[in-house]
Amino acid sequence: MSTPLIETIHTSKIFEVRKGLLGVKRHIRAVDDVSLNIQENEIVALVGESGCGKSTLGRLMLALLKPDEGQVKFRDKDIWSLKGEEFKEFRRSAQLIPQDPYSTLNPMKKVISALYPQLLKYKIASNRSEARKMSAELLEMVGLSPPEDFLNRYPCRLSGGQMQRISIARALSVKPSFIVADEAVSMLDASLRIEILDILLNLRKKFSTAYLFITHDLAIARYFAAGERIAIMYLGNIVEVGDTEEVIQNPMHPYTKALIMSVPVPDPKLAKERGLPPLRSLEIPSLVELPSGCKFHTRCPYAEKICEEKMPELREVKNRLVACHLY
């Protein structure tokens, strides 16, 4: 296999928390010993419940957070060993499309101010006139036409969908090779989601961009990462990685099975027949008091003694990776 574009190697991120001013310090392993790689021009969908560490992993891969353990490598170089121009080039190559477009645009500045500064900083445009022209082309690319109507608007005059398109345009403006799309469509109306996903997929073909697509919605992950890979995350650990359709049609890890059974069914009769996922408990363990061994064993219907004592390793099983003692 070729060298990955970006990869985490036994990467962990630990946050310190305390209750009250004089409370006891505790630690949360938001990302716990995660190894995940993404190839050039590949899409990996990262799926899991809220609070499982998906966004933290994305920020580690963008060097917005520094890992406490392990490494993050970009084109086979540890990103925290990069200096000067090399680190600047990494910053250009790795971009974020955030979940909340409202918090990413300055309400006091016009749309054009969110696009042209980086074009000048990275010398993609040689002057302001050329940067303005490129900004207009970017807006057309993401479906905001005519672009002149949007360049001089303030964010308060834009809808949520329009603001998210501008976030996409800004991420693509510096021609990145890797984008973390963190719940990029979760705040949009259902009618807009597929349209935005199609824009991202079309731009991927044009720019050969790789994506880490973070979502809690399996249906969205299935659409966006069709023919690609999906990774399932639970309480800081990757528990299953494989071809998107194979994982959804034939899940192996008990947590993946529970996630798929939790997807709403339109027909009330079918929903009643299917019932709830056969979990021992619906309660998610506290992040500051995690269970020993496999973190899922307190909820898993197939848990055995070894599950309480030993954390399962992510190992290859039938052309995918699964972290479960059942295999």
pLDDT, tens only, 237-263: 999 999 999 999 999 999 999 999 888
Among 100-104, 211-215, 219-223, 307-311, the least confident range: 100-104
Cα torsion for 112, 114, 116, 119, to the nearest 10°?
A: -160
Q: H or E element: which one contains 33?
A: strand 25-38
> CA 312 to CA 136: how far, in whole Å?
51
- The number of residues in the chain equals 327
Count CA atoms closer than 13 A to 90's CA, side-chain side.
Answer: 21
Q: How confident is the model at residue 193 (pLDDT cuts 50, 70, 90)?
A: confident
What is d(CA 295, CA 285) in angstroms, rounded to the nearest whole number? 8
pLDDT at 21 over 80: no
Task: Say yes or no to pLDDT of 58 above 90.
Answer: yes
Q: What is the mean pLDDT of the chain?
A: 91
Give the pLDDT confidence score for residue 298 in this predicted structure. 93
Q: At what angle do helices 190-207 and 160-172 cross, to 10 degrees?
A: 10
β-pairing verdict for 25-38 and 77-78: unpaired
Bridge partner residues of 164 (DSSP): none
Rounded to whole angstroms, the Cα distance separating 177 from 217 reads 25
Lowest average pLDDT, out of 94-108, 146-160, 263-277, goes to 263-277
Whole-number pLDDT of residue 263:
82
Rounded to whole angstroms, the Cα distance separating 234 from 247 reads 15
Share of the chain above pLDDT 90, in %: 68
Q: Angle 118-96-90 (CA atoms, 0-180°, nearest 5)?
A: 65
Question: In which residue are the tokens 């992510």 written?
Answer: 314
pLDDT, tens digit, 9 for 90 and up, residues 98-141: 888 888 888 899 999 989 899 999 999 999 999 999 999 999 98
Domain 6-108+154-322 sits in CATH at 3.40.50.300
- pLDDT of 1 reads 61
Residue 308 pLDDT > 80: yes
Do residues 73 and 3 lie in contact, with contact meaning Cβ atoms separated by under 8 Å? no
Average pLDDT over residues 277-282: 81
Kindly report the backbone phi and psi dihedral angles of residue 128, in degrees, each rounded to the nearest multiple of 5, phi listed first: -65, -35
The one-letter code for the residue type at 154 is Y
Q: Are strands 315-317 and 94-97 parallel, antiparallel or unpaired?
A: unpaired
Residue 268 has pLDDT above 90, yes or no: no
Question: Distance between CA 292 and CA 253 in Å, rounded?
Answer: 18
Long-range contact set of residues 272-277: C-beta below 8 Å, sequence gap at least 24: none
- What's the burial of 127, exposed, middle or buried (CB within 10 Å: 0-12/13-18/19+)? exposed
The answer to whether residue 59 scores a pLDDT higher than 80 is yes
Domain ranges of the chain: 6-108+154-322
